Structure 1
Amino acid sequence: REAWLVEQGASVQVFFIAGGLTISATAVTLQPGAAGDLVKVRNIDSGKILSGTVMADGTIQVSAS
């Protein structure tokens, strides 16, 4: 098993990318994850919970649902 790239409770940057549009926000991880894992995060501003993929640089990429 790979080591966790993001730990539970860590502050991370979340990115939503669609075409030429990129939206970023700060969130807190609700579970640990390695690169490629699907994890849940809570948006600090809105409090909403999102699911996204852990990227190699430690950011989280969220897809349109």
Structure 2
Amino acid sequence: MRLALTEQGQALSDLLPQIGADAMNDTFAALDSDEVQTLTRILTKVLVAADDHITLTRLSFNPKAKS
């Protein structure tokens, strides 16, 4: 069985990364820059502990870099 998106479905799918980024930006607008840095540091630590290779790769995370 092969499933494929229609042109309309693909067009919508192409918008999802920007929709997600916009939603995150709206959510993070409630935080000041220090809070964003703290949250980023904590979430990165959780991802490393979870050994979530896919997310770490997407973020181009270097575990040896100073966070």
TM-score, normalised via structure 2 length: 0.18
Which structure has the highest strand share of the two?
Answer: 1
| Bigger relative contact order (CA 8 A; separation at least 6) | 1
TM-score, normalised via structure 1 length: 0.18
**Rg larger in structure:** 2
Which structure has the highest helix share of the two?
Answer: 2
